Amino acid sequence: MKRYCEKHIAEDLTKKMVFIGGPRQVGKTTLSKRLLQTKFRGGEYFNWDADEDREAIRKKRWKSSSPLIVFDELHKFTHWKRWIKGVYDVRPEGQQYLVTGSARLDVYRRGGDSLMGRYHYWRLHPLTLDELPRDVGSKEGYERLLKLGGFPEPFLSGDEREARRWRKERFDKVLREDVRDLENIRDIRLLQLFVDLLRTRVGGLITLSNLAEDLQISPKTAKAWLLLMERMYAVFAVYPYVKQMPRSIQKPPKVYFYDNADTADDEGMRLENLVATTLLKRLHYIEDFHGYRCSLHYVRDKDGHEVDFVTVIDGKVDELIEVKHSDANIATSLRYYADRIKHRAAVQIVGDLKRPFDTGGIHVTNPIAYFSKPLWVRESR
């Protein structure tokens, strides 16, 4: 299936290199090969993990007439950034490069960036309600996302047992291969327990010192492990929104999983995680395509008023969003902050709501209706 950012990546490749980052098995390789089959026929694909391809990459053996060269997992090449810069600066006229990789590609780009101005960066996310295959209806898609998650292979299979097996194998690879390549973790089993504790705390405030005490590790180690799992695109942290907020205080983060089915098997928890992943996907799209700076937060003050999500685009609050599994009554905290924070929209998403309605400037809706119109059809804000 065609992915939401495929058209834009093809356009960007006519101007600069493109880097694609994202979770393991989210579809980066499939997207790249589709581009070679459709927009850049005659291009070539090289995977660093394949012995023959790795040798060809090292010796720069590809056709000068190829319109596109794809380097998959190139980040495993120790000096890949310096190497691709040299290749790009002396490339044949009309030849372009697409580099895909795991989270480590994203980690490295945050350092001194010698490639500045030579590439566009895209983050590929799992499937969501606004990106479903044509043969999957919104109701069925919603149920699959809650049960199977949004990664293409388990989602498309529709088989819950196979999805569990796939998910276990994928996470084992993340922990035992990707993490091993990135960090020297002495006891992977403890890291697995750390992740398991996060699964049961989705949507709640994460106090790392408490997790550290449970696992008998230092708070510093717990913080490092959370950052590591973020770098691996296993989880993402949502921090409090504090700008110009009276009586607001710094709070611990909330943590969500990129794979919705990685959370504990709780309908309310998975619904909130689904909303979080979809909001983050949309904000990343706005950053990667439109160039605005975006961020996802929650908001909470000393009196305990809390709203699940605050989206911020170009330094301005865009939406206040509260998520409920079945309660359509307006959350007191949502109304409280809607009266105090300047925003474009205030929304309460209710999982089993049949009919959306508006009251007091707050839109009450269900996940399917809220995410029915893809954000990426907008040309600008």
Question: What phi and psi, each to the nearest 5 degrees, are found at residue 91?
Answer: -65, 155
d(CA 257, CA 250): 22
Higher pLDDT, 218 or 231: 218
Query: Is residue 20, in this structure, part of any structural domain at all?
Result: yes
Is the pLDDT confidence value at 312 over 70?
yes
Boundary-marking domain end, from 88, 123, 158? 123
pLDDT of residue 135: 95
d(CA 215, CA 235): 19
pLDDT of residue 103: 65
Boundary-marking domain end, from 123, 156, 173? 123
**Do residues 74 and 150 both lie within one domain?**
no
Query: Is residue 132, in this structure, part of any structural domain at all?
Result: no
**Do residues 364 and 243 both lie within one domain?**
yes
Q: State the total domains in the chain.
A: 2
**Do residues 116 and 257 both lie within one domain?**
no
Question: What phi and psi, each to the nearest 5 degrees, are found at residue 46?
Answer: -130, 130
Q: Which domain holds residue 206?
A: 138-377
Q: For the whole model, what pTM was predicted?
A: 0.93
**Do residues 331 and 196 both lie within one domain?**
yes
Those residues whose C-beta lies under 8 Å from the C-beta of residue 172, and which sit 6 or more positions away, are none
**Do residues 17 and 110 both lie within one domain?**
yes
> How is residue 86 written in tokens?
């040299």
**Do residues 55 and 179 both lie within one domain?**
no
Query: Is residue 45, in this structure, part of any structural domain at all?
Result: yes
Q: For residues 365 and 349, is the Cβ–Cβ distance under 8 A? A: yes
Query: Is residue 326, in this structure, part of any structural domain at all?
Result: yes
CATH code of residue 40: 3.40.50.300
Is the pLDDT confidence value at 310 over 60?
yes
- Residue-wise over 334-369: b if at least 16 C-beta within 10 A, else e? bbbbbebbebeebbbbbbebeebeeeeebbbbbbbe
**Do residues 118 and 264 both lie within one domain?**
no
**Do residues 147 and 230 both lie within one domain?**
yes
Q: For residues 98 and 17, is the Cβ–Cβ distance under 8 A? A: yes
Is the pLDDT confidence value at 380 over 50?
no
Query: Is residue 1, in this structure, part of any structural domain at all?
Result: no
Query: Is residue 86, in this structure, part of any structural domain at all?
Result: yes
Query: Is residue 133, in this structure, part of any structural domain at all?
Result: no
**Do residues 239 and 212 both lie within one domain?**
yes
Mean pLDDT across 91-104: 89
Quickly state the pLDDT bin for 232 (edges 50, 70, 90): confident
**Do residues 230 and 197 both lie within one domain?**
yes
Query: Is residue 77, in this structure, part of any structural domain at all?
Result: yes
First to last CA, the chain: 27
Higher pLDDT, 283 or 171: 283
**Do residues 27 and 158 both lie within one domain?**
no
**Do residues 105 and 196 both lie within one domain?**
no
Side-chain half-sphere CA neighbours of 131 within 13 A: 25
pLDDT in tens, 31-87: 999 999 999 999 999 999 899 999 999 999 999 999 999 999 898 888 898 999 999
Selection from 229, 228, 190 nearest residue 212 by Cα: 190
pLDDT in tens, 103-143: 666 544 454 567 888 999 999 999 999 999 999 999 999 99
pLDDT in tens, 313-372: 999 999 999 999 999 999 999 999 999 999 999 999 999 999 999 999 999 999 999 998
